[in-house]
Amino acid sequence: MTPVQTALLRETWEQVIPIGDAAATIFYDRLFEIDETAKPLFAGVDMAEQRRKLLKTLNGVIEGLNDLEALIPAIQDLGRRHAAVGVTDAQYDSVGAALLWTLEKGLGDRWSTEAQVAWARAYGLIADTMREAAKEASDPGAKADRLAN
């Protein structure tokens, strides 16, 4: 992430905070619309609490951009927890698409190509870190193989 991208993430996130719950609702609605396999993962889940968790997680990521070393273990743990409930690689792609779509809709004319690139890059880094942790959790030999290479 470049300093300009990091600043753009913070700036756009500050604009999302006042509409946070509505944005999170739109996000989950969009996710379930584009990926029917995601909806069963939330059966029996208190969606109001889930929306709060989503916003808290995104806020933590934005706040942690200046100290990625401290942020990475939390993201890895999140990946392991997602693996434990059955999140698949393909669902990470759906989440990314739903997130970018939600930000575009929520920010309207404040959304730009530069913001899209910054958010896509940030999400890509987060998703890749979570996927790697999920793979290591399901296959302990994967970490040893990765470290050997």
pTM of the predicted protein model: 0.89
Q: Which domains does the chain have, with CATH numbers?
A: 3-148 (1.10.490.10)
Q: Are 122 and 63 in contact (CB under 8 A)?
A: no
The whole-number pLDDT of residue 138 equals: 77
Local confidence band at 66 (pLDDT 50, 70, 90 cut-offs)? confident
User: Closest Cα partner for 115 from 102, 100, 127, 105?
Assistant: 100
User: Closest Cα partner for 134 from 94, 81, 69, 58?
Assistant: 81
CA distance linking residue 64 with residue 2, whole number of Å: 14
Per-residue pLDDT, averaged over 21-31, amounts to 98
pLDDT in tens, 136-149: 987 756 555 555 55
Per-residue pLDDT, averaged over 39-63, amounts to 96
Q: Residue 23, CB half-sphere, CA atoms under 13 Å: how many?
A: 25
Cβ neighbourhood burial of 132 (10 Å; 0-12, 13-18, 19+): middle
pLDDT in tens, 92-125: 999 999 999 999 999 999 999 999 999 999 999 9
User: Closest Cα partner for 79 from 91, 62, 65?
Assistant: 91
36-70 b/e (C-beta count within 10 Å ≥ 16 → b): eebeebeeeeeeeeebeebbeebeebbeebeeeee
